[in-house]
Structure 1
Amino acid sequence: MNKITTVKELPDSEKPYEKFLTYGPEYLSDAELLAVIIRSGTSGLKSVEVAQNLLNDGHRNLLNLYDIPFEKMQKIRGIGPIKAIQLKCIAELSKRIAQTKSAPNVCMTNPRTIADYYMEHLRHENKEHLIVCMFDNKCHMKGDKLLSVGSANETIVSPREVFETAINCHAAHLILVHNHPSGIPEPSHADDVVTKRILNCGQLMGIPLSDHVIIGDHSYFSYRENNRIVV
Protein backbone atom coordinates (compact mmCIF):
# COMPACT_ATOMS: atom_id res chain seq x y z
CA MET A 1 0.00 0.00 0.00
CA ASN A 2 1.38 3.41 -0.96
CA LYS A 3 2.08 5.82 1.88
CA ILE A 4 0.25 9.17 1.93
CA THR A 5 2.73 12.01 1.49
CA THR A 6 2.36 15.12 3.64
CA VAL A 7 4.04 18.51 3.22
CA LYS A 8 6.34 17.76 6.17
CA GLU A 9 7.68 14.64 4.44
CA LEU A 10 8.73 16.42 1.24
CA PRO A 11 12.40 17.32 0.63
CA ASP A 12 13.27 20.80 1.96
CA SER A 13 13.51 22.22 -1.55
CA GLU A 14 9.91 21.18 -2.24
CA LYS A 15 8.24 22.22 1.04
CA PRO A 16 6.00 25.25 0.51
CA TYR A 17 6.21 26.14 4.22
CA GLU A 18 10.01 26.29 4.17
CA LYS A 19 10.01 28.16 0.88
CA PHE A 20 7.56 30.67 2.38
CA LEU A 21 9.80 31.24 5.42
CA THR A 22 12.94 31.60 3.29
CA TYR A 23 11.64 33.74 0.43
CA GLY A 24 8.10 34.90 1.23
CA PRO A 25 4.68 33.99 -0.26
CA GLU A 26 5.29 35.82 -3.53
CA TYR A 27 7.94 33.19 -4.43
CA LEU A 28 5.49 30.29 -4.15
CA SER A 29 3.87 28.98 -7.33
CA ASP A 30 0.09 28.76 -7.58
CA ALA A 31 0.32 25.02 -6.91
CA GLU A 32 2.55 25.56 -3.88
CA LEU A 33 0.18 28.13 -2.42
CA LEU A 34 -2.72 25.70 -2.82
CA ALA A 35 -0.61 22.89 -1.35
CA VAL A 36 -0.35 24.87 1.90
CA ILE A 37 -4.17 24.81 2.06
CA ILE A 38 -4.51 21.20 0.90
CA ARG A 39 -1.76 20.13 3.37
CA SER A 40 -1.68 16.42 2.58
CA GLY A 41 -1.62 14.41 -0.62
CA THR A 42 -3.11 11.03 -1.39
CA SER A 43 -1.72 7.63 -2.32
CA GLY A 44 1.09 8.22 -4.76
CA LEU A 45 0.55 11.99 -4.98
CA LYS A 46 2.22 14.83 -3.12
CA SER A 47 0.09 17.78 -1.98
CA VAL A 48 1.67 19.96 -4.67
CA GLU A 49 0.66 17.39 -7.29
CA VAL A 50 -2.91 17.36 -5.98
CA ALA A 51 -2.93 21.15 -6.31
CA GLN A 52 -1.60 20.86 -9.86
CA ASN A 53 -4.44 18.45 -10.72
CA LEU A 54 -6.88 21.14 -9.64
CA LEU A 55 -5.11 23.83 -11.65
CA ASN A 56 -4.97 21.66 -14.79
CA ASP A 57 -8.77 21.36 -14.99
CA GLY A 58 -11.16 23.91 -16.54
CA HIS A 59 -9.44 27.28 -17.00
CA ARG A 60 -6.05 25.68 -16.19
CA ASN A 61 -5.38 28.36 -13.57
CA LEU A 62 -6.58 29.73 -10.20
CA LEU A 63 -9.97 30.67 -11.64
CA ASN A 64 -10.83 27.01 -11.18
CA LEU A 65 -11.33 27.77 -7.48
CA TYR A 66 -14.33 29.89 -8.46
CA ASP A 67 -15.70 28.06 -11.45
CA ILE A 68 -15.33 24.34 -10.77
CA PRO A 69 -18.53 23.32 -8.97
CA PHE A 70 -18.17 21.94 -5.46
CA GLU A 71 -19.45 18.51 -6.52
CA LYS A 72 -17.03 18.27 -9.46
CA MET A 73 -14.08 19.49 -7.38
CA GLN A 74 -14.47 16.48 -5.07
CA LYS A 75 -13.91 14.17 -8.05
CA ILE A 76 -10.39 15.53 -8.67
CA ARG A 77 -7.88 12.98 -7.41
CA GLY A 78 -6.74 13.89 -3.92
CA ILE A 79 -9.58 16.33 -3.19
CA GLY A 80 -12.46 15.07 -1.07
CA PRO A 81 -15.33 16.94 0.58
CA ILE A 82 -13.22 18.59 3.31
CA LYS A 83 -10.53 19.88 0.94
CA ALA A 84 -13.19 21.05 -1.52
CA ILE A 85 -14.92 23.00 1.27
CA GLN A 86 -11.61 24.58 2.29
CA LEU A 87 -10.77 25.57 -1.29
CA LYS A 88 -14.23 27.02 -1.94
CA CYS A 89 -13.93 29.03 1.29
CA ILE A 90 -10.57 30.40 0.12
CA ALA A 91 -12.21 31.51 -3.13
CA GLU A 92 -14.99 33.25 -1.22
CA LEU A 93 -12.48 34.92 1.13
CA SER A 94 -10.58 36.31 -1.87
CA LYS A 95 -13.78 37.96 -3.13
CA ARG A 96 -14.54 39.45 0.28
CA ILE A 97 -10.99 40.70 0.79
CA ALA A 98 -11.10 42.50 -2.56
CA GLN A 99 -14.48 44.02 -1.72
CA THR A 100 -13.43 45.07 1.80
CA LYS A 101 -10.28 46.70 0.40
CA SER A 102 -12.36 48.74 -2.07
CA ALA A 103 -15.12 49.69 0.40
CA PRO A 104 -13.60 52.93 1.79
CA ASN A 105 -13.24 54.34 -1.73
CA VAL A 106 -16.83 53.78 -2.89
CA CYS A 107 -18.24 57.07 -4.14
CA MET A 108 -21.70 57.51 -5.64
CA THR A 109 -20.42 60.03 -8.19
CA ASN A 110 -17.46 57.88 -9.28
CA PRO A 111 -18.63 54.77 -11.18
CA ARG A 112 -15.18 53.20 -11.24
CA THR A 113 -15.11 52.95 -7.45
CA ILE A 114 -18.44 51.14 -7.54
CA ALA A 115 -17.22 48.80 -10.30
CA ASP A 116 -14.04 48.09 -8.33
CA TYR A 117 -16.09 47.29 -5.22
CA TYR A 118 -18.21 44.66 -6.96
CA MET A 119 -15.77 43.43 -9.62
CA GLU A 120 -14.28 40.39 -7.88
CA HIS A 121 -17.61 39.39 -6.42
CA LEU A 122 -19.56 39.52 -9.68
CA ARG A 123 -17.20 38.85 -12.57
CA HIS A 124 -16.96 35.15 -11.75
CA GLU A 125 -20.71 34.54 -11.57
CA ASN A 126 -22.30 32.49 -14.36
CA LYS A 127 -25.73 34.04 -13.84
CA GLU A 128 -26.80 37.66 -13.74
CA HIS A 129 -27.01 39.11 -10.24
CA LEU A 130 -28.80 42.42 -9.75
CA ILE A 131 -27.93 44.52 -6.70
CA VAL A 132 -29.42 47.79 -5.51
CA CYS A 133 -26.95 50.09 -3.72
CA MET A 134 -28.30 52.78 -1.43
CA PHE A 135 -26.73 56.14 -0.57
CA ASP A 136 -27.54 58.99 1.81
CA ASN A 137 -27.73 62.71 0.98
CA LYS A 138 -23.95 63.01 1.42
CA CYS A 139 -23.35 60.27 -1.16
CA HIS A 140 -22.17 57.81 1.48
CA MET A 141 -23.10 54.21 0.91
CA LYS A 142 -25.71 53.00 3.41
CA GLY A 143 -25.87 49.41 2.21
CA ASP A 144 -26.85 47.12 -0.63
CA LYS A 145 -29.12 44.18 -1.32
CA LEU A 146 -29.15 41.39 -3.87
CA LEU A 147 -32.57 41.62 -5.52
CA SER A 148 -32.47 38.86 -8.10
CA VAL A 149 -30.43 36.12 -9.70
CA GLY A 150 -31.33 35.41 -13.31
CA SER A 151 -30.39 33.07 -16.09
CA ALA A 152 -27.07 33.22 -17.92
CA ASN A 153 -28.13 36.41 -19.69
CA GLU A 154 -31.03 38.05 -17.89
CA THR A 155 -32.30 38.99 -14.47
CA ILE A 156 -35.78 39.85 -13.26
CA VAL A 157 -36.37 42.92 -11.12
CA SER A 158 -39.49 44.64 -9.89
CA PRO A 159 -39.51 48.41 -9.23
CA ARG A 160 -41.60 47.64 -6.14
CA GLU A 161 -38.78 45.52 -4.69
CA VAL A 162 -36.21 48.19 -5.50
CA PHE A 163 -38.08 51.00 -3.76
CA GLU A 164 -39.29 48.93 -0.81
CA THR A 165 -35.63 48.19 -0.14
CA ALA A 166 -34.68 51.85 -0.57
CA ILE A 167 -37.43 53.12 1.75
CA ASN A 168 -36.56 50.57 4.44
CA CYS A 169 -32.96 51.74 4.29
CA HIS A 170 -33.94 55.47 4.29
CA ALA A 171 -31.96 55.93 1.08
CA ALA A 172 -31.74 59.25 -0.72
CA HIS A 173 -30.19 57.89 -3.94
CA LEU A 174 -29.96 54.52 -5.69
CA ILE A 175 -27.52 52.81 -8.00
CA LEU A 176 -28.24 49.53 -9.77
CA VAL A 177 -25.38 47.08 -10.31
CA HIS A 178 -25.49 43.84 -12.25
CA ASN A 179 -23.06 41.57 -14.07
CA HIS A 180 -22.90 40.14 -17.56
CA PRO A 181 -21.63 36.53 -17.40
CA SER A 182 -20.31 36.93 -20.95
CA GLY A 183 -17.72 39.33 -19.53
CA ILE A 184 -18.83 42.05 -21.96
CA PRO A 185 -20.53 44.92 -20.10
CA GLU A 186 -22.27 46.62 -23.02
CA PRO A 187 -25.95 47.22 -22.05
CA SER A 188 -28.67 45.21 -23.73
CA HIS A 189 -32.11 46.43 -24.73
CA ALA A 190 -33.47 44.74 -21.59
CA ASP A 191 -30.94 46.67 -19.48
CA ASP A 192 -32.13 49.92 -21.07
CA VAL A 193 -35.77 49.07 -20.33
CA VAL A 194 -35.08 48.25 -16.66
CA THR A 195 -32.98 51.39 -16.25
CA LYS A 196 -35.71 53.61 -17.71
CA ARG A 197 -38.40 52.04 -15.51
CA ILE A 198 -36.40 52.50 -12.30
CA LEU A 199 -35.33 55.99 -13.36
CA ASN A 200 -38.95 57.07 -13.93
CA CYS A 201 -40.16 55.48 -10.70
CA GLY A 202 -37.31 57.13 -8.79
CA GLN A 203 -38.35 60.53 -10.00
CA LEU A 204 -41.90 59.90 -8.76
CA MET A 205 -40.73 58.48 -5.43
CA GLY A 206 -38.17 61.20 -4.76
CA ILE A 207 -35.36 58.61 -4.60
CA PRO A 208 -33.47 59.17 -7.85
CA LEU A 209 -31.53 56.50 -9.72
CA SER A 210 -28.03 57.97 -9.96
CA ASP A 211 -26.42 55.27 -12.10
CA HIS A 212 -26.65 51.74 -13.43
CA VAL A 213 -23.27 49.98 -13.50
CA ILE A 214 -22.80 46.79 -15.49
CA ILE A 215 -19.89 44.57 -14.48
CA GLY A 216 -17.92 42.64 -17.10
CA ASP A 217 -14.60 40.80 -16.80
CA HIS A 218 -12.23 43.51 -15.57
CA SER A 219 -14.40 46.07 -17.34
CA TYR A 220 -17.62 47.93 -16.69
CA PHE A 221 -20.24 50.17 -18.25
CA SER A 222 -21.77 53.14 -16.45
CA TYR A 223 -24.97 54.78 -17.70
CA ARG A 224 -23.89 57.92 -15.85
CA GLU A 225 -20.44 58.09 -17.47
CA ASN A 226 -22.00 57.58 -20.88
CA ASN A 227 -24.55 60.36 -20.30
CA ARG A 228 -27.48 57.93 -20.41
CA ILE A 229 -28.45 59.01 -16.91
CA VAL A 230 -28.08 62.72 -16.23
CA VAL A 231 -28.13 63.83 -12.60
Structure 2
Amino acid sequence: MATSAPNPYANIGFEDFRRLAQQPGLSKYERIGFPDSYREGFEAEIFRDILGKLPRLNEDRQVILDVGPGCSDLPVMLIEHCAARGHELHLVDSAEMLGHLPDRAGTHKHAGLFPNCPDLVAAQQGRVNVLLCYSVLHYVLVDAAFFRFLDTALSLLAPGGEFLIGDIPNISKRKRFFASETGVRFHQEFMKTAERPEVRFNQIEPDQIDDAVVMALLQRARAQGFDAYVVPQSRALPMANRREDILIVRP
Protein backbone atom coordinates (compact mmCIF):
# COMPACT_ATOMS: atom_id res chain seq x y z
CA MET A 1 0.00 0.00 0.00
CA ALA A 2 1.22 3.50 -0.78
CA THR A 3 1.62 6.28 1.73
CA SER A 4 1.13 9.98 1.18
CA ALA A 5 4.09 12.21 0.39
CA PRO A 6 6.49 12.74 3.32
CA ASN A 7 6.67 16.15 4.92
CA PRO A 8 10.22 17.52 4.57
CA TYR A 9 9.53 19.96 7.41
CA ALA A 10 8.44 17.39 10.00
CA ASN A 11 10.08 17.52 13.43
CA ILE A 12 11.86 20.82 12.96
CA GLY A 13 11.79 23.66 15.44
CA PHE A 14 12.52 27.29 16.23
CA GLU A 15 16.23 27.23 15.39
CA ASP A 16 15.55 25.46 12.09
CA PHE A 17 13.08 28.18 11.11
CA ARG A 18 15.62 30.85 11.99
CA ARG A 19 17.93 29.26 9.44
CA LEU A 20 15.17 28.93 6.85
CA ALA A 21 14.38 32.63 7.24
CA GLN A 22 17.94 33.44 6.17
CA GLN A 23 18.39 30.79 3.50
CA PRO A 24 18.64 32.26 0.00
CA GLY A 25 16.51 30.90 -2.80
CA LEU A 26 13.52 29.87 -0.69
CA SER A 27 10.03 31.20 -1.31
CA LYS A 28 8.15 32.95 1.50
CA TYR A 29 6.09 29.77 1.93
CA GLU A 30 9.11 27.46 2.06
CA ARG A 31 10.60 29.68 4.77
CA ILE A 32 7.61 28.85 7.00
CA GLY A 33 7.62 25.12 6.29
CA PHE A 34 5.21 24.72 3.35
CA PRO A 35 5.62 23.77 -0.28
CA ASP A 36 4.34 26.63 -2.45
CA SER A 37 1.38 24.51 -3.59
CA TYR A 38 0.05 24.33 -0.01
CA ARG A 39 -0.15 28.10 0.55
CA GLU A 40 0.21 30.06 -2.70
CA GLY A 41 -3.16 31.53 -3.63
CA PHE A 42 -4.80 30.32 -0.41
CA GLU A 43 -3.75 32.83 2.22
CA ALA A 44 -6.53 35.35 1.57
CA GLU A 45 -9.04 32.54 2.16
CA ILE A 46 -7.13 31.47 5.29
CA PHE A 47 -7.34 35.03 6.60
CA ARG A 48 -11.09 35.15 5.93
CA ASP A 49 -11.46 31.91 7.89
CA ILE A 50 -9.48 33.42 10.79
CA LEU A 51 -11.59 36.59 10.79
CA GLY A 52 -14.75 34.49 10.94
CA LYS A 53 -13.53 32.65 14.03
CA LEU A 54 -12.10 35.67 15.84
CA PRO A 55 -14.82 38.34 15.68
CA ARG A 56 -12.96 40.68 18.01
CA LEU A 57 -10.44 41.22 15.22
CA ASN A 58 -13.21 43.19 13.49
CA GLU A 59 -13.73 45.47 16.49
CA ASP A 60 -11.58 48.57 17.02
CA ARG A 61 -8.58 49.24 19.26
CA GLN A 62 -8.03 45.73 20.58
CA VAL A 63 -4.81 44.12 21.81
CA ILE A 64 -3.74 41.39 19.40
CA LEU A 65 -0.94 38.83 19.83
CA ASP A 66 0.27 36.54 17.03
CA VAL A 67 2.60 33.78 18.17
CA GLY A 68 4.81 32.49 15.34
CA PRO A 69 3.50 34.58 12.44
CA GLY A 70 6.26 33.58 10.04
CA CYS A 71 6.93 35.74 6.99
CA SER A 72 4.37 34.92 4.29
CA ASP A 73 1.47 37.11 3.13
CA LEU A 74 -0.77 36.01 6.02
CA PRO A 75 0.94 38.09 8.76
CA VAL A 76 1.11 41.02 6.35
CA MET A 77 -2.68 40.81 5.98
CA LEU A 78 -2.98 40.79 9.76
CA ILE A 79 -0.64 43.78 10.11
CA GLU A 80 -2.64 45.82 7.59
CA HIS A 81 -5.96 44.80 9.12
CA CYS A 82 -4.80 45.75 12.60
CA ALA A 83 -3.46 49.10 11.39
CA ALA A 84 -6.82 49.88 9.78
CA ARG A 85 -8.68 48.98 12.99
CA GLY A 86 -6.33 50.81 15.33
CA HIS A 87 -5.28 47.62 17.08
CA GLU A 88 -2.18 47.20 19.20
CA LEU A 89 -0.49 44.24 17.51
CA HIS A 90 2.29 42.13 19.00
CA LEU A 91 4.23 39.62 16.88
CA VAL A 92 6.44 36.98 18.50
CA ASP A 93 8.92 35.06 16.37
CA SER A 94 12.62 34.92 15.60
CA ALA A 95 14.31 38.17 14.64
CA GLU A 96 15.10 36.57 11.30
CA MET A 97 11.42 35.92 10.53
CA LEU A 98 10.25 39.27 11.86
CA GLY A 99 12.79 41.04 9.68
CA HIS A 100 10.83 39.99 6.59
CA LEU A 101 7.65 41.71 7.85
CA PRO A 102 6.81 45.39 7.36
CA ASP A 103 6.96 47.90 10.18
CA ARG A 104 3.71 49.71 10.92
CA ALA A 105 2.58 52.08 13.63
CA GLY A 106 0.96 50.06 16.38
CA THR A 107 2.84 46.87 15.48
CA HIS A 108 5.38 45.62 18.01
CA LYS A 109 7.87 42.89 17.16
CA HIS A 110 9.25 40.64 19.88
CA ALA A 111 12.17 38.40 18.97
CA GLY A 112 12.05 35.16 20.92
CA LEU A 113 10.48 31.77 21.46
CA PHE A 114 7.08 31.80 23.13
CA PRO A 115 6.49 31.18 26.02
CA ASN A 116 10.16 31.83 26.88
CA CYS A 117 9.71 35.61 26.68
CA PRO A 118 9.12 36.72 30.29
CA ASP A 119 9.04 40.46 29.63
CA LEU A 120 6.28 40.14 27.04
CA VAL A 121 4.32 37.68 29.18
CA ALA A 122 4.53 39.94 32.23
CA ALA A 123 3.48 43.03 30.26
CA GLN A 124 0.49 41.37 28.57
CA GLN A 125 -1.04 39.46 31.50
CA GLY A 126 -4.82 39.60 31.22
CA ARG A 127 -4.95 42.24 28.47
CA VAL A 128 -4.91 40.35 25.15
CA ASN A 129 -8.25 40.42 23.31
CA VAL A 130 -7.20 38.15 20.44
CA LEU A 131 -4.41 35.58 20.48
CA LEU A 132 -3.56 33.81 17.24
CA CYS A 133 -1.29 30.78 16.86
CA TYR A 134 -1.60 29.48 13.30
CA SER A 135 0.27 26.47 11.89
CA VAL A 136 2.51 26.47 14.96
CA LEU A 137 1.24 23.91 17.48
CA HIS A 138 3.06 20.96 15.88
CA TYR A 139 6.34 22.86 16.23
CA VAL A 140 5.59 23.54 19.90
CA LEU A 141 5.88 19.76 20.23
CA VAL A 142 9.56 20.13 19.33
CA ASP A 143 10.41 23.27 21.31
CA ALA A 144 8.23 23.51 24.41
CA ALA A 145 5.89 21.67 26.76
CA PHE A 146 2.33 21.74 25.41
CA PHE A 147 0.71 22.58 28.73
CA ARG A 148 3.21 25.30 29.61
CA PHE A 149 2.62 26.85 26.20
CA LEU A 150 -1.15 26.67 26.68
CA ASP A 151 -1.19 27.84 30.30
CA THR A 152 0.97 30.86 29.51
CA ALA A 153 -1.17 31.81 26.53
CA LEU A 154 -4.36 31.53 28.58
CA SER A 155 -2.92 33.79 31.28
CA LEU A 156 -2.68 36.60 28.72
CA LEU A 157 -6.35 36.64 27.69
CA ALA A 158 -8.53 39.53 28.81
CA PRO A 159 -12.17 38.86 29.76
CA GLY A 160 -13.94 37.96 26.52
CA GLY A 161 -10.59 37.25 24.90
CA GLU A 162 -10.39 34.82 21.98
CA PHE A 163 -7.55 32.37 21.29
CA LEU A 164 -7.33 30.48 18.01
CA ILE A 165 -4.87 27.60 17.73
CA GLY A 166 -5.20 27.13 14.00
CA ASP A 167 -4.22 24.63 11.35
CA ILE A 168 -3.51 21.69 13.66
CA PRO A 169 -2.24 18.60 11.78
CA ASN A 170 -4.19 15.99 13.74
CA ILE A 171 -2.90 12.56 12.69
CA SER A 172 -6.17 10.96 13.87
CA LYS A 173 -8.24 13.21 11.60
CA ARG A 174 -5.81 12.51 8.77
CA LYS A 175 -6.24 8.75 9.24
CA ARG A 176 -10.02 9.05 9.24
CA PHE A 177 -9.85 10.98 5.99
CA PHE A 178 -7.49 8.60 4.20
CA ALA A 179 -9.55 5.62 5.34
CA SER A 180 -12.60 7.07 3.57
CA GLU A 181 -13.37 6.61 -0.11
CA THR A 182 -13.04 10.37 -0.58
CA GLY A 183 -9.60 10.26 0.99
CA VAL A 184 -8.55 7.29 -1.13
CA ARG A 185 -9.49 9.16 -4.31
CA PHE A 186 -7.70 12.27 -3.08
CA HIS A 187 -4.54 10.27 -2.38
CA GLN A 188 -4.63 8.45 -5.71
CA GLU A 189 -5.09 11.67 -7.68
CA PHE A 190 -2.48 13.61 -5.70
CA MET A 191 0.12 10.83 -5.76
CA LYS A 192 -0.81 9.69 -9.30
CA THR A 193 -1.11 6.08 -8.19
CA ALA A 194 -3.73 3.33 -8.20
CA GLU A 195 -2.66 2.17 -4.74
CA ARG A 196 -4.67 2.95 -1.62
CA PRO A 197 -3.08 4.96 1.21
CA GLU A 198 -1.82 2.97 4.18
CA VAL A 199 -3.82 3.68 7.33
CA ARG A 200 -3.20 2.09 10.74
CA PHE A 201 -5.71 2.88 13.47
CA ASN A 202 -5.09 2.33 17.21
CA GLN A 203 -1.38 2.92 16.81
CA ILE A 204 0.59 5.60 18.64
CA GLU A 205 2.53 7.83 16.25
CA PRO A 206 5.58 9.30 18.02
CA ASP A 207 5.96 13.10 17.82
CA GLN A 208 2.52 13.53 16.22
CA ILE A 209 -0.54 15.40 17.43
CA ASP A 210 -3.54 13.07 17.67
CA ASP A 211 -7.06 13.17 19.11
CA ALA A 212 -5.67 12.51 22.59
CA VAL A 213 -3.53 15.66 22.45
CA VAL A 214 -6.35 17.78 21.04
CA MET A 215 -8.81 16.61 23.70
CA ALA A 216 -6.23 17.08 26.45
CA LEU A 217 -5.75 20.71 25.41
CA LEU A 218 -9.51 21.29 25.47
CA GLN A 219 -9.83 19.68 28.89
CA ARG A 220 -6.87 21.65 30.26
CA ALA A 221 -8.37 24.96 29.08
CA ARG A 222 -11.85 24.10 30.39
CA ALA A 223 -10.44 23.07 33.75
CA GLN A 224 -9.08 26.63 34.09
CA GLY A 225 -12.46 28.23 33.42
CA PHE A 226 -12.22 28.80 29.67
CA ASP A 227 -14.65 27.67 26.98
CA ALA A 228 -12.85 25.51 24.42
CA TYR A 229 -14.00 23.99 21.14
CA VAL A 230 -12.68 22.00 18.19
CA VAL A 231 -13.79 23.83 15.04
CA PRO A 232 -13.46 22.81 11.37
CA GLN A 233 -11.62 24.81 8.77
CA SER A 234 -13.35 26.29 5.76
CA ARG A 235 -13.61 23.71 2.98
CA ALA A 236 -11.85 26.21 0.73
CA LEU A 237 -8.61 25.75 2.64
CA PRO A 238 -6.00 23.40 1.16
CA MET A 239 -5.71 21.00 4.12
CA ALA A 240 -9.18 21.30 5.69
CA ASN A 241 -9.75 17.58 5.15
CA ARG A 242 -6.92 16.66 7.53
CA ARG A 243 -6.39 19.68 9.78
CA GLU A 244 -8.59 21.46 12.32
CA ASP A 245 -8.60 24.37 14.76
CA ILE A 246 -9.10 24.89 18.49
CA LEU A 247 -10.97 27.99 19.64
CA ILE A 248 -10.67 29.02 23.30
CA VAL A 249 -12.65 31.91 24.79
CA ARG A 250 -12.34 33.50 28.22
CA PRO A 251 -15.89 34.13 29.45
State whether TM-score is above 0.5: no
TM-score, with normalisation over the residues of structure 2?
0.30
TM-score, with normalisation over the residues of structure 1?
0.32
Where relative contact order (Cα < 8 A, 6+ residues apart) is larger, the structure is 2
Larger helix percent: 1
The structure that has the greater radius of gyration is 1
